[in-house]
Amino acid sequence: MMKKRWIIVASIVFLLSFLVIFYLNFPTTPQDFLLKQGISEDQIITESGVKRDTIFVFYENPHKNGISVGALNKRYLKWNWSYNGNVFVNDTDEDIYYHVTGQSTGDQDYSIIFGLINNNLIDSAKIEITSIDGPNVILNPQVKDYTNSKFFYVIMDEPLKGASLQIKVIPNPPLPNINTEND
């Protein structure tokens, strides 16, 4: 009888130890996950709000020499990555963007468009993304300061397939309309 009790106690202690170790080693937030991947908090550019139980994290990826995005399904505490989408950082004044379309969370298809506008003059600009040969949509992405650039992203609940995207920077307030004609 005593031996049986010891076996039960030992089993409970083992199970509790296993659960504690599992909990301590399992990432519960995007930051935890990225830290376990060797990515520090100062490399995280921004996080999206929760969309259908999913948070998207945009971060500097030193292995890709650019920016990548990861998706965390909060309900299942499960990470799925986009298709190595990254935006390469350079010093030109050109618009640089990346459009990744695909199954981002295992159970939901998304279109994720993100990138950099390397222009110091668009302090409070609005960035408008228009699909020009796919579905006719105009997207107003979230914008965040990033070094000497603007980082922008938009996440659509449905894939945007076969579309070329046009990115337009609209100054805010709009630039004055200068009339060059003589009176």
At residue 11, does pLDDT exceed 80?
yes
In a domain, 54, yes or no: yes
CB-CB contact of 113 with 137 (8 Å) = no
In a domain, 149, yes or no: yes
In a domain, 45, yes or no: yes
Number of domains in the chain: 1
Q: What is the average per-residue pLDDT within 139-166? A: 70
Pick from 40-44, 142-146, 154-158: least confident: 154-158
**What pLDDT does residue 133 have?**
60
In a domain, 50, yes or no: yes
Q: What is the average per-residue pLDDT within 38-55? A: 75
* Per-chain mean pLDDT for the chain: 64
At residue 85, does pLDDT exceed 60?
no
In a domain, 130, yes or no: yes
Residues spanned by the domain of 53: 40-170
In a domain, 12, yes or no: no
In a domain, 76, yes or no: yes
At residue 84, does pLDDT exceed 50?
no
Q: Looking at per-residue confidence, does 130 or 180 come out higher?
A: 130
**What pLDDT does residue 99 have?**
47
In a domain, 11, yes or no: no
**What pLDDT does residue 104 have?**
44
Helical H runs in the chain? 2-25, 30-36
Q: Of 156, 149, 144, 158, which Cα lies nearest the Cα of 47? A: 144
Q: What is the average per-residue pLDDT within 102-120? A: 60
At residue 97, does pLDDT exceed 70?
no
**What pLDDT does residue 8 have?**
83
**What pLDDT does residue 149 have?**
72
Phi then psi for residue 128, to 5 deg, are: -110, 130
CB-CB contact of 85 with 68 (8 Å) = yes
Q: Looking at per-residue confidence, does 25 or 80 come out higher?
A: 25
